[in-house]
Chains A and B, each alone.
Chain A
Amino acid sequence: QSVLTQPPSVSAAPGQKVTISCSGSTSNIGNNYVSWYQQLPGTAPKLLIYDNNNRPSGIPDRFSGSKSGTSATLGITGLQTGDEADYYCGTWDSSLSAAVFGGGTKLTVL
């Protein structure tokens, strides 16, 4: 059971938009930055979003992040087949003194 809760799967058609939610508590998302990671099959995770809503260089602006209270959301617009991957949210949990991840969401581009 993950500390952060994500939907197991989402799907949408090419060119459409999808959002992935990440729910936590005041000890984690509520008081710390949220990051998002993309993991393509057979590869290491890749940082997509940091500090709730910032993109590292090289990440297209089709990817966006937001945070409100104890929840965060990853948005992906203009879906491409190459976006099919597992997506994870992450943050620090001040009560656990541990980094925590969501259980992951598998994105299918139909």
Chain B
Amino acid sequence: EAQLLESGGGLVQPGGSLRLSCAASGFTFSSYTMSWVRQAPGKGLEWVSAFGGSDTSIYYADSVKDRFTISRDNSKNTLFLQMNSLRAGDSAVYYCAKVLRGYSPDQFDHWGPGTLVTVSS
């Protein structure tokens, strides 16, 4: 059974940086697109970014483009999200999610428990 576990969240000041990690197990990590999805307190789900089968299959939401960078280390079964120039509006629980089918870009069949990011002075 696939399992995902995020880490790296915490309190950071506006303009600061944070790096999230997602440790994966129970499936062939390199064979699936992986994504980050966030949820601000009391709000709905917002897709953030996805990393497919290669560097040419990287996607970002407009709200984080040029500030966030997604990467993955297939040798360590780990997904990352480097977040720079953080704003109050980036405060949310960040979920790591695995897609259902190969390198398809969406339809998420496994989710981690999430890690909370709070941007505040």
Name A residues whose Cβ lies closer than 8 Å to a Cβ of B: 2, 32-33, 35, 37, 39, 43-47, 50-51, 56, 86, 88, 90-92, 96-104
Name B residues whose Cβ lies closer than 8 Å to a Cβ of A: 35, 37, 44-47, 50, 59-62, 95, 100, 105-109, 111-114
Cβ-defined contact, B111 with A46, below 8 A: yes
Could you tell me the distance in whole angstroms from the C-beta of B61 to the nearest C-beta in chain A? 6
Cβ-defined contact, B109 with A101, below 8 A: no
Question: By DSSP majority rule, is chain B's interface helix, strand, loop, or mixed?
Answer: strand
Cβ-defined contact, A35 with B44, below 8 A: no
Knowing A44-B95, A44-B114, A45-B95, the reply to whether A35 touches B47 (Cβ < 8 A) is no
Cβ-defined contact, B45 with A101, below 8 A: yes
Interfacial chain A residues near B100, Cβ < 8 Å = 35, 47, 50
Cβ-defined contact, B111 with A92, below 8 A: no
Interfacial chain A residues near B109, Cβ < 8 Å = 47, 50, 56
Cβ-defined contact, A99 with B95, below 8 A: no
Could you tell me the distance in whole angstroms from the C-beta of A7 to the nearest C-beta in chain B? 13
